[in-house]
Amino acid sequence: MEDGKLDARIEALLNEEKQVRLAADVAGTKKVVTEIIRLCYEGKAWKTLNEQILLLSKRRSQLKQAVTAMVQQAMQYIDETPDVETRIELIQTLNTVSAGKIYVEIERARLIKKLAKIREEQGQIAEAAECMQEVAVETFGAMAKTEKIAFILEQVRLCLDRKDFIRAQILSRKINPRSFTETPKQKKKAKEGDSMVEEPAPDVPTLSELRRIYYELMIRYNAHNHEYLEMCRSYQCIYEALVKDETSSSDTAMAVEGQPEWVPILRKICWYLVLAPHDPMQSSLMNSTLEDKKLSEIPKFQALLKQFVTMEVIRWDPFWEDYKIEFEEEANLPGGALGDRAAEDLRLRVIEHNILVVSKYYSRITLKRLSELLCLTGQEAEKHLSEMVVSKALVAKVDRPAGVVCFISKMDSNDVLNSWAVSIEKLLDLVEKSCHQIHKETMVHKVTLKVQ
């Protein structure tokens, strides 16, 4: 269509649009505005298209339904633009029209997501992240839950890409992990109670896929602060989902080198359990992982966890020789390498484990003997012992002039009284059992006891 004919056709439609708009004819107004947008698209008049979108949205008493129809129609043409500049210009025009309008808030969110993707492809990660942060989709009542989660996860990913870990943490807290395990009954109630919720966009992942994306992003975030236990818990959630999907389906998902997909995940769980500092949560997770029957399929890692559960000293040199190849192989498996500091932290965990073992078997020990058991120098042994005492992982006192470590904590008056009470209770119980046995023997042998 030639420019003159296009302008004349648009002018005629604008006059028609004025009549139906003033008559409050919703269907007629929607039909006319979408027709104007279609003509501009078919004529490849992208500049005219942007001008008409702005013009129609600013007309007096313009109907909300007409603006919504116009924006939705124009969004279909974004991928048909001839170049990136034209695409960005159209998206920005639609953003200007939809800004501040609740009835097109979902369309605005989708437009900003498209714009952020373009910026990211151009290498402008910071601009893409700032663009996405302008939208708070958690307040959108009409947006589907999966689309909300997908949008927030995209915000978190961009923040992690630009190394903005504080904002990534704030955004991640908008997602409740329980929403990934919502029961079908709860979903049905939510649909019945909110009939205005729109269907998610076609490119939005399913809830199970979003759950995996969420925990993978949490692993990236916690890796920055070397929070090994939190990384382990995230891998545990991914592992549980994989095992559940495997049992529910007849075909087992296969990963690297023909292994089941859960094998590298379970390997990561074992490594991060060992790398995590000793505390009740870490101990509980380690014991529950050892009870997992699937762990027997990778005996090397079953033995790894058993070494840290068993109260025996671990010699570092033979231990590292045994697991060095497995440690380095993690770089070639899903999830990547364990990190630059992981080898140092692993040695530190072995030392801490050995100190805990020594504290179980000794109430008092010389620093010289302690350093021999730990295969460390005296200064290193004292340093690691002091760090464990400061972190409250251990109760100990060091007599430096005498070179003696005492692992017995001083009891207060209440503890002393309680220990006495327990001892007296045990003594009385023993006396009662002894008297019972004596009476039993006298009754069996019919012996009369003389009371003096």
Mean pLDDT of the residues in the chain: 85
User: For residue 257, is pLDDT > 60?
Assistant: no
Which pTM was predicted?
0.80
Domain boundaries, the chain: 1-99, 416-452
Distance (Å, whole) CA 350 – CA 316: 7
Percent of the chain, pLDDT > 70? 91
Which SS3 state, helix, strand or coil, does residue 182 take?
Answer: coil
- Runs of H (alpha helix) within 291-412: 299-309, 316-329, 342-361, 367-374, 378-390
Contact assessment for residue 200 and residue 113, using Cβ atoms and an 8 Å cutoff: no
User: For residue 218, is pLDDT > 90?
Assistant: yes
User: For residue 409, is pLDDT > 90?
Assistant: no
pLDDT in tens, 3-39: 678 888 888 888 888 888 888 888 988 898 889 888 8
Contact assessment for residue 208 and residue 241, using Cβ atoms and an 8 Å cutoff: yes
User: For residue 180, is pLDDT > 80?
Assistant: yes
Place of tokens 């075909």: 251
pLDDT in tens, 79-106: 888 889 989 999 999 999 888 888 888 8
Q: What is the DSSP letter of 268?
A: H
Distance (Å, whole) CA 111 – CA 94: 8
User: For residue 183, is pLDDT > 80?
Assistant: no
**In degrees, to the nearest 5, what angle opens at C-alpha 255 toward C-alphas 253 and 259?**
90
To the nearest 10 degrees (0 to 180), the angle between helices 84-98 and 64-75 is 160
- Runs of H (alpha helix) within 76-164: 84-98, 105-121, 125-133, 145-161
Distance (Å, whole) CA 32 – CA 233: 56
Q: Output the six-digit token pair for 33.
A: 């505005």
pLDDT in tens, 113-137: 999 999 999 889 999 999 888 888 8
Lowest mean pLDDT among 17-21, 70-74, 201-205, 350-354: 201-205
